[in-house]
Amino acid sequence: MKILVTGAGGMLATELLPLLEDEGHEVLALTRGDADVSHADSLKHSVHAFNPEWIFHLAAYTKVDDCEKEVDHAYLVNAIGSRHVALAAAQCGAGLLALSTDYVFPGDSKRPYREYDAVGPRSVYGASKWAGEQAIREIHPKHLIVRTAWLYGRGGPNFIDTILRRSRSGQDLKVVDDQRGTPTWTRDLSGALLRLAMRAQYGTYHVTNSGDCTWFDLARYVLDRTRSTVALDRTDSASLARPAPRPSYSVLNLQMYEQATGDRMPPWKDAVDRFLETRTESE
């Protein structure tokens, strides 16, 4: 199958691209330098020249705090860029799989969010990603919108690598304990994306590893597994005074993904263990 991937220079693509190639798919990987999704003509030319059967749209502006001051740029990439990709996919008849985020929800739920729960983004990042979702739905019926959360993996900055780096330098740590979600390894997510595309049951899906924790819980688990002795203290989100508000609860319900694919996502602790093994092997 011919698959075009936007955002090919990002963390998720670092795991997804080798998987697609190992599965025998013909892949065109587009970085921002190859085809900027915010420029329709450049993107349209690349898509039409390759004539893909699927487009995996990973390109996004994900600097959550920077989005608060760079509002126009956030919407240009996350909303208008997604519109451009949807138009290009529709024109060549390709299926479109696009990544979205738990930040589309307000974070005040007491149970995992379902795909059809009311959204209510509280940050520019979340609002721009929601606008991108809406553009895709309006333009191209052959779409898969996949909301995910708390990504970590090779090929980009992430929370676990930050904890490892600081612990190895002997820095004591303070981590928030009032945000609950699900850490998700990009390798597990990549496999899930491919399974969804192969089944082509179009719609919106939630995909993360299973289970949930706070950022403090995740940091504690990583430090324990790596036998680090640095001090770890709890703090709260208000103490950090970051520009963009974070959802206090953004656990996602995985039932629709499980029904569509017959697959169950591995628990987050299992995924972290396997990720840490790859980090040890590469050192």
pLDDT digits (tens, 9 = 90+) for 30-51: 999 999 999 999 899 999 999 9
281 pLDDT higher than 70 = no
Report the alpha-carbon distance of residue 163 to residue 158 in Å, rounded: 9
CB atoms within 10 A of CB 277: 11
b/e sequence 191-214, b meaning 16+ C-beta within 10 Å: bbbbebbeeeebebbbbbbbebbb
Q: What is the pTM of this model?
A: 0.96
123 pLDDT higher than 90 = yes
pLDDT cut 90: percent of the chain above it: 94
Return the pLDDT at 279: 81
Cβ atoms of 221 and 213 closer than 8 Å: yes
Q: How confident is the model at residue 171 (pLDDT cuts 50, 70, 90)?
A: confident
Return the pLDDT at 159: 96
Return the pLDDT at 42: 86
Query: Which of 88-102, 119-133, 158-172 is least confident?
Result: 158-172
Q: With helix as H, strand as E and coil as C, how does the chain read? A: CEEEEECCCCHHHHHHHHHHHHCCCEEEEECCCCCCCCCHHHHHHHHHHHCCCEEEECCCCCCHHHHCCCHHHHHHHHHHHHHHHHHHHHHHCCEEEEEEEHHHCCCCCCCCECCCCCCCCCCHHHHHHHHHHHHHHHHCCCEEEEEECCEECCCCCCHHHHHHHHHHCCCCEEEECCCEECCEEHHHHHHHHHHHHHHCCCEEEECCCECCEEHHHHHHHHHHHCCCCCCEEEECHHHHCCCCCCCCECCECCHHHHHHHCCCCCEHHHHHHHHHHHHHHCC
Report the alpha-carbon distance of residue 246 to residue 115 in Å, rounded: 19
pLDDT, tens digit (0-9, with 9 covering 90-100), for 214-235: 999 999 999 999 999 999 999 9
Q: How many residues does the chain have?
A: 283
Return the pLDDT at 226: 95
| CA angle centred on 239, ends 236 and 245, rounded to 5° | 75
282 pLDDT higher than 90 = no
60 pLDDT higher than 70 = yes
Return the pLDDT at 241: 87
Domain boundaries defined on the chain: 2-157+183-210+250-267
- In degrees and rounded to multiples of 5, residue 266 shows phi and psi of -65, 150
Average pLDDT, the chain: 96
29 pLDDT higher than 70 = yes
Q: What is the mean predicted confidence (pLDDT) over 154-159?
A: 93
pLDDT, tens digit (0-9, with 9 covering 90-100), for 62-115: 999 999 999 999 999 999 999 999 999 999 999 999 999 999 999 999 999 999
Tell me the CATH class for 2-157+183-210+250-267: alpha beta
The tokens for 200 are: 């082509």
Q: Which residues are catalytic?
A: 125
Q: What is the mean predicted confidence (pLDDT) over 270-281?
A: 90
